[in-house]
């Protein structure tokens, strides 16, 4: 298993930017596809973006496409989420997750989770 710790959340005004990080430890980070999920109060968890273990293939949900960018640095065992043009509806707890998978896993295949970091976007 891989252990995941998110950081970088906070309070930002609408239109602003934040960069989330997810530090991994334990098993070889480069063997895992990675994803970001979010959950707003009273709403179901949303799968928003993913990247394969090499970093060449990515997926974005329509809700974040064109505004968010996922990336990874396997040498630093770290996953990133650059969030630009933030909107109040982006307010949520953001979680990184890992799946031991060579391509882009389906949502249910992620089985290693971080504790989450809060992102709040004020209007």
pLDDT for res 101: 86
The confidence band for 71, taking pLDDT boundaries of 50, 70 and 90, is very high
Looking at residues 101-108, what average pLDDT do you find?
A: 89
Separation of first and last alpha carbons in the chain: 39
pLDDT for res 96: 98
CA 103 to chain centroid: 16
The confidence band for 27, taking pLDDT boundaries of 50, 70 and 90, is confident
| 112 and 34 Cβ atoms separated by less than 8 Å | no
The confidence band for 123, taking pLDDT boundaries of 50, 70 and 90, is very high
């Amino acid at each position: 298993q891989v252990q995941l710790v998110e950081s970088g959340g906070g309070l930002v005004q609408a239109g602003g930017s934040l960069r989330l990080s997810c530090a991994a430890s334990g098993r070889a980070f480069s063997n895992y596809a990675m994803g970001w999920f979010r959950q707003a109060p009273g709403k179901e968890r949303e799968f928003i973006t993913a990247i394969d273990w090499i970093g060449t293939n990515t997926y974005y949900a329509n809700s974040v496409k064109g505004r968010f960018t996922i990336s990874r640095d396997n040498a630093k065992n770290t996953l990133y989420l650059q969030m630009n043009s933030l909107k109040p509806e982006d307010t949520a707890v953001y979680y990184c997750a890992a799946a031991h998978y060579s391509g882009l896993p389906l949502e249910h295949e992620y089985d290693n989770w971080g504790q989450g970091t809060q992102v709040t976007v004020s209007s």
